[in-house]
Structure 1
Amino acid sequence: MKPGDPQAVRELFEAIAPRYDQLNDWLSLGLHRLWKRQAVLWLRPGPGQHLIDLCCGTGDLALVLAGKVRPGGQVLGLDAAAAPLQVAAARAARQPWLPLQWRQGDALATGLPSESFDGAVMAYGLRNLADPAAALSELRRLLRPGGRAAVLDFNRPDPGSPAGAAAAAFQRLYLRRIVVPTARLFDLPEQYAYLEASLQRFPSAAAQVELARAAGFRTARHRSLAGGQMGLLQLLA
């Protein structure tokens, strides 16, 4: 599949939604929860806030955030694919006291009013969007002045340095020898082979910072996680 193609990406996540959470736990040895915790720490969610989880997938981050904005707050989870939202809604139904809403929509053009949210998070979504620059501009539009955003995703190591070259080599090995063979056990090898292809077009850490500043964020910083395998873009509107 072609990285960034909206229909192909949507179909991919429709296919993997039932196994997505289990595969995330297996492939990261549960560490994805720690990386997402770093995103939440930057966001500093609190009672009464209105937050949005763009490309929310099966809703694990939205559920965490919803527990932190009570009382008086609200969390909206938005995703382009219907199947992950169905999983998210089923999970949320087990905690009906959480202030959550789900919406199917395009992260590049949400149709939501400007300056509607105190904070935003996007985990493993930016890399899959057709236009990361447009996504960051839409993210900035949705935030009130002073709002925070956390964008978590795979990092694209810079092979120009010894450390970067080693990180890039490990990443290729991990994706080819661990991720795809594991996904094959679930009959999803093609969907997870897409990961490596999507990274080839993903902006580098420095480029993400430049795109965020061009989108109007007054503060943009990229933090390397997991030895350079993951990255957290920390933004302040």
Structure 2
Amino acid sequence: MSENINVQKIVPFEGSKLSKKEQIATIFNDIAYRYDFLNHFMSLGIDIIWRKKALKQLRSLQPKYMLDVATGTGDFAIMAEKKLHPEKIVGIDISAGMLEHGRQKIEKLGLGHKITLELGDSETISFPDQTFDAITVAFGVRNFENLEKGLAEMRRVLKPGGKLVILEFSNPTVFPIKQLYNLYSSYLIPLFGKWIAKSQAAYSYLPESVKAFPQGEAMKTILTNIGFQAVTCKTLTFGICSIYCATR
């Protein structure tokens, strides 16, 4: 699909010989130590509310075994454990640096018996077919090198009747939110990234990757074409963020 081609064209370092996947792993390794702080700081804490709303979509399902893809430092997995109380959550990510910070948090919280973080690729998930009751992804699908392949892999390891919940940034369309958001994301976010995480490239990539990512009906169509059912999209905070839900 044309939307997927656009996603793959957006990379953190233009001209680099590294694949998008390798570039993403590199920048997240570099900013891992400040990632959680910057998330909350740059969203004014609203990202926590977004995560809670996304997890509410799984409350009626009461999943026992969950997979958190692109888990990063494990924030979403930790919140899922607190809100949904599954028996086990596995988080996978391609950034070893992010996972190390996540494991430290999980150990301090005494959740090592409930949450396991593993180095893993969304496009080649190392679990058998129909393993998980629910799969979550928070702010990670736009970083997939091959969006359709990653989504298809998640469907493969999801049990029949299981649910996928994706939380992802989107582009607001309402005046003046659209204009204010574009100003903030294009100028202030890269500046904050440079000052706080010493990585302007990572936070310049963020708004560009959001602009290129298929949203709303386009994303719903991709999920449906892959074989998901009951696909929905709910926008949050004037369209700055979206929750996509789909059932296997």
TM exceeding 0.5 = yes
Instruction: Report the alpha carbon displacement of residue 206 of structure 1 after superposing the two structures with TM.
Output: 0.9
Q: Give the 5 Å matches for 1:74-153.
A: 74-97=88-111, 98-153=113-168
Equivalents in 2 of 1:34, 1:233: separation in Å? 16
Q: What is the CA–CA distance in structure 2 between the aligned matches of 1:49 and 1:68, rounded to whole Å?
A: 12
Q: Is the 8 A contact 2:170 2:211 kept in 1?
A: no
1:233 corresponds to = 244
1-structure distance, mates of 2:114, 2:149: 29
Q: Is the 1:137–1:215 Cα contact (8 Å) retained in structure 2?
A: yes
Gaps of 5+ in 1: none
User: Gaps (5+ residues) in structure 2?
Assistant: 1-9, 13-18
Query: Alignment length, in residue pairs?
Result: 231
User: Could you tell me how far apart the structure 2 residues matched to 1:204 and 1:33 are?
Assistant: 21
Out of 11, 14, 20, the position equivalent to 1:2 is 11
Q: Of the candidates 210, 213, 232, which is equivalent to residue 221 of structure 2? A: 210
Verify: 1:197 aligned to 2:211, yes or no: no
Partner of 2:15: none
Post-superposition shift, 1:193? 0.5
Return the offset for 1:212: 0.7
Q: CA deviation at 1:176?
A: 2.3
> What are the residue-to-residue correspondences of 1:151-170 with 2, within 5 Å?
151-157=166-172, 163=174, 166-170=176-180
TM-score by length of 2: 0.87
Whether the aligned pair in 2 keeps the contact of 1:157 and 1:204 (CA below 8 Å) is no
Greater relative contact order (Cα < 8 A, sep 6+) = 2
CA deviation digits over 1:201-220, x for unaligned, max 9?
A: 21121111011111111111
Match of 1:172 among 173, 179, 182: 182
Distance 1:44 1:108 in 2: 27
1: CA distance between counterparts of 2:158 and 2:76? 18
Contact 1:27–1:178 (Cα < 8 Å) also in 2: no
Provide the secondary structure at the position in 2 that maps to 1:231.
strand
Displacement of 1:39 in angstroms is 1.0
Deviation track 1:155-207 (CA, whole Å, cap 9, x = no partner) reads 1345xxxx2x6444233111123212212212222210111221232112111
Paired amino acid for 1:126: V
CA deviation map 1:96-129 (0-9, x unaligned)? 2451111101011112111100001000100111
| Residue among 218, 222, 228 paired with 2:233 | 222
Please give the secondary structure, in 1, of the residue aligned with 2:123: coil
Determine the structure 1 residue equivalent to 2:5. Answer: none
The farther-off stretch of 109-118 and 60-69 is 60-69
User: Which segments of structure 1 move beyond 3 Å, counting only runs of 4 or more?
Assistant: 45-48, 67-71, 165-168
Matches within 5 A, 1:12-31: 12-31=27-46
Return 113-122 or 140-149, whichever deviates more.
140-149
RMSD: 2.0
CA distance in 1, matches of 2:83, 2:132: 15
Contact 1:43 1:120 in 2 (8 A): no
Pair 1:157–1:135, CA change in 2 (3 A): farther
Whether contact under 8 Å (1:46, 1:69) holds in the other structure is no
How many Å apart are 1:236 and its aligned residue?
A: 1.6
Query: 1:226 and 1:105, CA in 2 relative to 1: closer, same or farther beyond 3 A?
Result: same
Superposed displacement of residue 13, structure 1 = 0.6
